[in-house]
């Protein structure tokens, strides 16, 4: 299977990865990476692999089209030198007038075979840099599984602070629950 080559301007890089905004044409590789993240890290996301796998590719295409049309919402992909998508992170601005000063970082994932190379840090930094250019945006919020020490460390290093812990935030399909840290970065 050949992978589509990234197109568009180079945004930033880490360990040879190119980071750019995703478009509808990236739907298949985005969906494949998202499904991989859900399969490998069931306790890190609120969506499940089974739920997402039942959705058609058209849903991923629509999501990328929607974020591509909104100036303040985006999903970034990190691409290896061979064109494979190896990481992803998104930002969405809250839509209500009295909350439009806030946004949400979501779906951060780096393929395990590219972990520890700075790709996750580069993605988070690229999201933050782009968020800082959005007029009126003051805060970036996220939730992260409390036991995911590497992710919590990454977010802390980038300036996020924990402002609350939600106990039993996610009830896992196979049983058990996980707590989530609520974190914020003030731009």
Q: What is the pLDDT of residue 67?
A: 79
Asked if 126 and 144 count as a contact pair (C-beta separation under 8 A), the reply is no
Q: What is the pLDDT of residue 154?
A: 97
| CATH architecture for segment(s) 12-138 | 3-Layer(aba) Sandwich (3.40)
Q: Which helix (H) or strand (E) holds 92?
A: strand 85-93
Segments making up each domain of the chain, as ranges: 12-138
| Structure tokens, 146 | 């409390």
Whole-angstrom Cα distance, residue 34 to residue 59? Answer: 12
Helices H / strands E in the chain, number of each: 5, 8
Chain-centroid distance of CA 184 in Å reads 15
Q: What is the pLDDT of residue 12?
A: 44
pLDDT in tens, the chain (187 residues): 333 334 443 444 465 789 999 999 999 999 999 999 999 998 888 888 999 999 999 999 999 988 777 779 999 999 999 999 999 999 999 999 999 999 999 999 999 999 899 999 999 999 999 999 999 999 999 999 999 999 999 999 999 999 999 999 999 988 899 999 999 999 9
pTM of the model: 0.88
- Measured between alpha carbons, how far apart are the two ends of the chain, in Å? 41
Rg (CA), the chain: 16
Beta strand segments in the chain, E: 12-14, 17-21, 74-79, 85-93, 102-110, 139-145, 161-171, 177-186
Whole-angstrom Cα distance, residue 109 to residue 33? Answer: 8
Partners of 85 in the β-ladder: 79
């Amino acid at each position: 299977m050949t992978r589509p080559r990234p197109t568009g301007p180079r945004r930033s890089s880490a360990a040879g990865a190119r980071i750019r905004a995703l478009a509808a044409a990236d739907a298949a590789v985005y969906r494949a990476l998202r499904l991989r993240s859900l399969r490998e890290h069931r306790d890190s996301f609120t969506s499940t692999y089974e739920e997402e796998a039942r959705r058609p590719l058209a849903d991923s295409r629509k999501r990328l089209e929607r974020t591509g049309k909104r100036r303040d919402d985006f999903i970034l992909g990190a691409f290896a030198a061979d064109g494979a998508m190896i990481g992803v992170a998104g930002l969405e601005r809250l839509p209500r007038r009295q909350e439009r000063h806030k946004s949400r970082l979501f779906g951060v994932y780096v393929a395990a075979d590219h972990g520890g190379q700075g790709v996750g840090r580069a993605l988070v930094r690229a999201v933050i840099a782009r968020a800082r250019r959005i007029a009126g945006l003051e805060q970036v919020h996220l939730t992260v599984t409390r036991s995911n020490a590497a992710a919590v460390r990454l977010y802390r290093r980038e300036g996020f602070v924990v402002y609350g812990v939600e106990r039993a935030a996610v009830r896992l399909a196979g049983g058990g629950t996980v707590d989530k840290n609520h974190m914020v970065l003030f731009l």
